[in-house]
Structure 1
């Protein structure tokens, strides 16, 4: 089973590296070599600190409810590299991947792994020709490899501090990076933002003569839980109106929103075991609110691991407000924060470090386990517990 890029790179003799190199020069050069396969494709571009994945899922579901074929590209992977490139919310297969990688093997421009994956996605979408293609920015926006596209509409979901080594230490700097996805005369839909971020985005939108569209609030039924998901659904509703125009149907849109799901967004993996990909202060705040809303009378057990560079002290303080029982996991990613750091900084009386990936269904109905902190960790846990997960979720 192929889970990452390396087997494809080895098969087709492609070299790329795992470094992060913000900038579009290599992307533009590689795409030029390939005949600019992305030109003229019907893109929807999404940037934001949090909410990109859920908003993309909502937009996809709306468009599919209108009978449209939809492509999606996002990161990180949920289970393996194939699910980062989807058609009608289904991961692409090895045949499609091989065909794109064969074309990439003839490219002379040196790329990073994420640039390589982005170009691969664009080649697959050129071949598949879906009606709409939803692209999530990987980091920031302005210098992210996805920003070679010219979208029908841009969406900026939220802005808070993240990736400060690359994006800057201030909200204004981060907003400048996110606003880089705004294109000339193309509408932009923005979520609730800090005032200083909104001013930056409004200024850049004005420079590009890009109208900022008033968000249509949605209060209908959703499978995805939490007030933040209502905001994401509202962004999706508004963006869908822009791209569908006269074809937009409110009933189909509501049906699409009601059906939308996404892995690791307050997802019940087993009974009383919830996986949620919150991994920074803003998303942890939303997670805490959702836990309080859904489990006001339950004891909460937090299982977590983090990638280095996160504001782990703020994250711990937020989670300690709702739980006194923590398990910290050491997991196999070179960027993983050692569990003993989280353990030593945690003020709870009940805390342990776990060095494996066995998360078993909770037998005690008075306690709910919330597994959080890193999508990479959640993916590893799901893979290790796949048979149990499949049994629990089978009809």
Structure 2
């Protein structure tokens, strides 16, 4: 295998148990063989939704402050390289291939999944680049996710809700326990969920982790065209000093939920400020310049077009809140598709009153839901104005051709749905 394309094609089928095989033993052994022990501060970000945005805030602000930042995120939208970035810039094919080759040499008899290769490659690349801080986004859950072979100096859990039930459980408390697996005793764990799930709080107490909670240990206030952040730890054993950040610019990431994500990121900065100091100028620049494509991304065009990768009920509720803040639209059109293992009934029930017409198509991936199935579910929810296409790009082209400048187009339901449209319009 000489190219990244060849490597990725190989990794998609190389592991006998498939793309998902939860557990830390195999990846932990290869990590030890490779001597992957980060010497810089490490932040692990988990949660049902908001992980990517928190990683984006941290990456941009640390970069603005002059620190060298390595960031692992997933999944990607257009190119695999997006997953492994230094100072927000995706690393090149050759760098990833070299890391894959080192992993291949070290693993010997041990079989690894696609994501395990991805995680080890990212940390290997970051260590060789001598970054000042690593930010690792959890891929699935937390307790048994590959990133959890590394010890977080600060863990962030943005939100807890149902998703990936086959792997994480059927209740919010079961999901909370899985996500709490990334915290470490004697270290800070930041929770943006209010109220805190009982099993997360219990696990933090049992582990001796310092739990910092939104609304109790940190909070934010929105006022007109700016906002304020306050860090005021109440029951912390690691932190006692308070800090306030006033007159902060509204983040460039759109959506009603983004100030929660930004506040979680600023709290992580506070936790590491003694080793990675950040000035207020870097924070303000980072908030204005941060970018995270596909998260309530409003394109600079008419009609108003929104891209949102939301694919579960929690994300659907956030999308609904954000859509309701937008200006009036004469006709509201959805370009929509979902994967077959997602809760399509709940997502449609939450968002059905936000659209006048639906443009649907299947996703050309193994887990893609068929168009007939999507149409049947929409009909069950009383939705009649449905247009069916062979693929998402055809669906988008059709709605774009007929929409007036006063209409609104919202593309949502999956990373794959958004990626298809981004490719269609040359969006980055």
TM over 0.5: yes
Question: How many pairs does the alignment contain?
Answer: 382
Question: Are positions 1:80 and 2:79 aligned together?
Answer: yes
Give the aligned partner of residue 350 of structure 1: 385
Aligned counterparts of 2:383 and 2:9: Cα–Cα separation in 1: 47
Equivalent of 1:331 in 348, 356, 363: 363
RCO greater where, 1 or 2, for CA within 8 Å and sep 6 or more? 1
Q: C-alpha offsets along residues 19-53 of structure 1, whole Å, 9 cap, x if unaligned? A: 31111001111112212x13434210000000000
What displacement does 1:285 show? 0.8
Over 3 Å counting, the alpha-carbon distance change for 1:338 and 1:10 in structure 2 is: closer
Question: Are positions 1:215 and 2:250 aligned together?
Answer: no
Q: Secondary structure at the match of 1:326?
A: strand
Equivalence map 1:247-286=2 (5 Å): 247-269=277-299, 270-271=301-302, 272-286=304-318
What displacement does 1:265 show? 1.1
Aligned counterparts of 2:184 and 2:47: Cα–Cα separation in 1: 16
What displacement does 1:297 show? 4.3
Give the aligned partner of residue 244 of structure 2: none
Are 2:62 and 2:278, in contact at CA under 8 Å, matched by a contact in 1? no
Aligned counterparts of 1:60 and 1:279: Cα–Cα separation in 2: 24
What displacement does 1:383 show? 2.2
Aligned counterparts of 1:366 and 1:11: Cα–Cα separation in 2: 47
Q: CA RMSD in A?
A: 2.1
TM-score by length of 1: 0.91
Are 1:22 and 1:143, in contact at CA under 8 Å, matched by a contact in 2? yes
Over 3 Å counting, the alpha-carbon distance change for 1:208 and 1:5 in structure 2 is: farther
Over 3 Å counting, the alpha-carbon distance change for 1:42 and 1:194 in structure 2 is: same
Equivalent of 2:261 in 232, 237, 242: 232
Aligned counterparts of 2:387 and 2:14: Cα–Cα separation in 1: 41
Q: Secondary structure at the match of 1:355?
A: coil
Are 1:16 and 1:116, in contact at CA under 8 Å, matched by a contact in 2? no
Q: Secondary structure at the match of 1:97?
A: helix
Which ranges of 4 or more aligned residues in structure 1 deviate by more than 4 Å?
Answer: 9-12
Give the aligned partner of residue 383 of structure 1: 423
Aligned counterparts of 1:187 and 1:352: Cα–Cα separation in 2: 49
Equivalence map 1:62-81=2 (5 Å): 62-81=61-80
What displacement does 1:72 show? 0.8
Give the aligned partner of residue 111 of structure 2: 110
Give the aligned partner of residue 291 of structure 1: 323
Equivalence map 1:8-47=2 (5 Å): 8=7, 15-16=14-15, 18-35=18-35, 37-47=36-46
Aligned counterparts of 1:207 and 1:5: Cα–Cα separation in 2: 43
Unaligned runs of 5+ in 2: 222-226, 228-247
Over 3 Å counting, the alpha-carbon distance change for 1:193 and 1:348 in structure 2 is: same
Are 2:338 and 2:363, in contact at CA under 8 Å, matched by a contact in 1? no
Are 1:159 and 1:194, in contact at CA under 8 Å, matched by a contact in 2? no
Give the aligned partner of residue 183 of structure 1: 184
Aligned counterparts of 2:104 and 2:193: Cα–Cα separation in 1: 43
Q: Secondary structure at the match of 1:241?
A: helix
What displacement does 1:194 show? 4.3
What displacement does 1:209 show? 1.7
TM-score by length of 2: 0.84
Give the aligned partner of residue 313 of structure 1: 345
What displacement does 1:370 show? 0.1
Q: C-alpha offsets along residues 358-385 of structure 1, whole Å, 9 cap, x if unaligned? A: 4244650221000000012211322243
Are 1:190 and 1:215, in contact at CA under 8 Å, matched by a contact in 2? no
Are 1:38 and 1:123, in contact at CA under 8 Å, matched by a contact in 2? no
Q: C-alpha offsets along residues 174-219 of structure 1, whole Å, 9 cap, x if unaligned? A: 1000000001211011102345x1x222221122221122224262
Q: Which moved more, 1:337-346 or 1:186-195?
A: 186-195
What displacement does 1:9 show? 5.8
Are 1:281 and 1:311, in contact at CA under 8 Å, matched by a contact in 2? yes
What displacement does 1:6 show? 5.2
Give the aligned partner of residue 99 of structure 2: 100
Give the aligned partner of residue 145 of structure 1: 146
Aligned counterparts of 1:192 and 1:299: Cα–Cα separation in 2: 34
